[in-house]
A and B are shown apart, each in its own frame.
Chain A
Amino acid sequence: MAGATIESEQSRGTGIAAGVFLAGAATAVLLGTYGRVHDPTGETALTAFFSGQLQFKVWAATLAVLFAVAQLVSALRMYGRFRTPAPPWLGDIHRLTGTLAFVCTLPVAYHCLWSIGFDTEVGVDRVFVHSVAGCLFYGAFVVKVSAVRIHRIGWVLPAVGGTVFTLLVVLWFTSSFWFFTTFDGALR
Chain B
Amino acid sequence: MSASGSRTPLGLVVAVVEVLAVVATAATLVLLFTNEPEAPAAAPAADAGAGGGGAVDGAAVYAAQCATCHAADGSGGIGPALAGGAVVAAFPDEADQVQVVAEGRGGMPSFGDRLSPEEIDAVVEYTRSL
Contact = CB atoms under 8 A, between A and B. Distances in A.
Interface of A: 34, 38-44, 51-54, 88-89, 91-93, 95-96, 99-100, 102-103, 106-107, 109-110, 113-117, 119, 121-122, 127, 148-149, 179, 183, 186
Contacts, number: 96
A52 B72 CA distance: 8
A43 B77 CA distance: 13
Given A93-B10, A95-B2, A96-B14, A119 B77 contact: no
Contact of A116 (B24, B78, B111): B78
Nearest to B106: A122
A89 B107 contact: no
20 contacts: A42-B66, A42-B69, A51-B72, A52-B67, A52-B71, A52-B72, A91-B1, A91-B2, A92-B8, A95-B14, A96-B13, A99-B17, A102-B25, A103-B17, A109-B28, A116-B109, A117-B109, A121-B106, A148-B1, A179-B77
A43 B31 CA distance: 14
Contacts of B31: 110, 114
Interface residues of B, number: 37
Given A96-B14, A110-B28, A119 B68 contact: no
Interface of B: 1-2, 4, 8, 10-11, 13-14, 17-18, 20-21, 24-25, 28, 31-32, 35-37, 64-69, 71-72, 75-78, 106-107, 109, 111, 114
A34 B109 CA distance: 15
A42 B111 contact: yes
Given A42-B69, A99-B17, A114-B35, 12 more contacts: A38-B32, A42-B114, A54-B71, A89-B8, A92-B10, A96-B10, A103-B17, A106-B25, A113-B32, A116-B69, A121-B106, A186-B71
A186 B81 CA distance: 13
A52 B77 contact: yes
A39 B32 CA distance: 11
Contacts of A127: 107
Contacts of A107: 28
Contact of B14 (A40, A99, A149): A99
